[in-house]
Amino acid sequence: MTRGAPTALVTGAASGLGAATVVTLADLGWAVTAVVHETAPPADLPAEVVPTDLADPGAIAELVAGLAEDPRVLVHSAARFHRAPLGRETSTRLQQDLAVNVLAAGHLVGHLLARPAPALRRVVLIGSAGAFHGATGLTAYAATKTAVAGQAVALARELGPRGITVNLVDPGPLDTPLAEVRTAAWRADAARAPWPVPAAPPARVAALIAFLAGDGAANTTGAVLGADGGLLASATP
């Protein structure tokens, strides 16, 4: 970790958008703590790697207690999902999805702000344009991502007086491991769109996250920023 560099805490950092965010921030000179789970991160990930199960509030408390420095930025990219036919979603799995996709961000923020000298100034949460577009079989995932949208605005209101911005980034299809959630119905929707919206490299969305993490985004909070390659625009009649 680079001494004196601004610090960021990035979850879901072993793969996909989280890993791309780590690389983008590190390239910009940030010192990054990468929160990973079961997937091994790339050996050359430019970050201090901390394994944590974000479904476990106790593990989140331990993670934050063990941080050597107070992060200025939190990017919560970790997410889980389960695919199930309508009415067959299980409450146990939905609770686990909610714990990681939604509740973990609140726990992380709460513990970070409870430290003696909190440095937190930016929170970036990750929603999903795709969750609202062709999410057949993914109602549980869509429910968690809708919850994240409400959470982002509520957190922005709560943390604004403390000088902390909170924003939501809604990616479209990304070329990441999570992409396997795409259903036949989604592909059919995409094929009907006025222009094709192929899966994008996650670095394109990481660039927006890095902007929100920086000083230039000081006046942006409670915002929902689409980074969906035109997915929603192409679906508008």
Our finding on whether 6 is near ligand NAP (CB under 6 A) is no
> Based on CB atoms, which residue is closest to ligand NAP, 31 or 99?
99
Q: What angle do CA 130, 131, 133 make, to 5 degrees?
A: 60
For the chain, the farthest-separated pair of C-alpha atoms sits apart, in whole angstroms, at 54
229 Rama sector, left if φ>0, alpha if ψ -120 to 50, beta otherwise:
left
**Is residue 86 classed as helix, strand or coil in its secondary structure?**
coil
Residue 122 engages ligand NAP in binding (rule: CB under 6 A): no
Minimal distance, residue 16 CB to ligand NAP, in Å: 2
Beta carbon nearer to ligand NAP, 14 or 213: 14
We find the least distance from the C-beta atom of residue 116 to ligand NAP, in angstroms, to be 26
What is the distance between the alpha carbons of residues 41 and 24, in angstroms, rounded to a whole number?
15
Per CB under 6 A, the list member of 173, 190, 208, 212 interacting with ligand NAP is: 173
CA–CA gap between residue 168 and residue 185 (Å, rounded): 26
Size of the site for ligand NAP (CB under 6 A): 28
Q: How far is C-alpha 214 from the chain's CA centre?
A: 16
Build a one-symbol-per-residue string for 61-80: x at contacts with ligand NAP by CB under 6 A, - elsewhere.
----------------xxxx
Q: How far is the CB of 72 from ligand NAP (least distance, A)?
A: 21
Beta carbon of residue 24, minimum distance to ligand NAP (angstroms, whole number): 13
Distance of CA 177 to the CA centre of its chain: 14
Based on the shown chain and the rule CB under 6 A, indicate whether residue 21 belongs to the binding site for ligand NAP. Answer: no
Q: Which stretch binds ligand NAP (CB under 6 A): 66-74, 86-94, 170-178, 188-196?
A: 170-178
Q: Say how many C-beta atoms besides its own lie within 10 A of residue 26's C-beta.
A: 20
Q: Taking the chain, what is the end-to-end CA distance rounded to the nearest angstrom?
A: 49
Q: Which of 178, 197, 213, 225 binds ligand NAP (CB under 6 A)?
A: 178
Q: How far apart are CA 197 and CA 12, in angstroms?
A: 24
Closest separation in Å from C-beta 136 to ligand NAP: 15
Q: Which stretch binds ligand NAP (CB under 6 A): 2-10, 150-158, 169-177, 189-197?
A: 169-177
- Residue 5 vs 106, nearer CB to ligand NAP: 106
Backbone angles phi, psi at 171, to 5 degrees: -75, 155
What ranges in 78-230 are assigned the alpha helix state H?
91-98, 104-113, 139-159, 184-192, 203-213
The residue written with tokens 């577009």 in the block is 133
Q: Nearest to ligand NAP by Cβ — which residue? A: 16
Which residues bind to ligand NAP, rule: CB under 6 A? 12, 14-18, 37-39, 53-55, 77-80, 100, 126, 128, 130, 171, 173-174, 176-179, 202
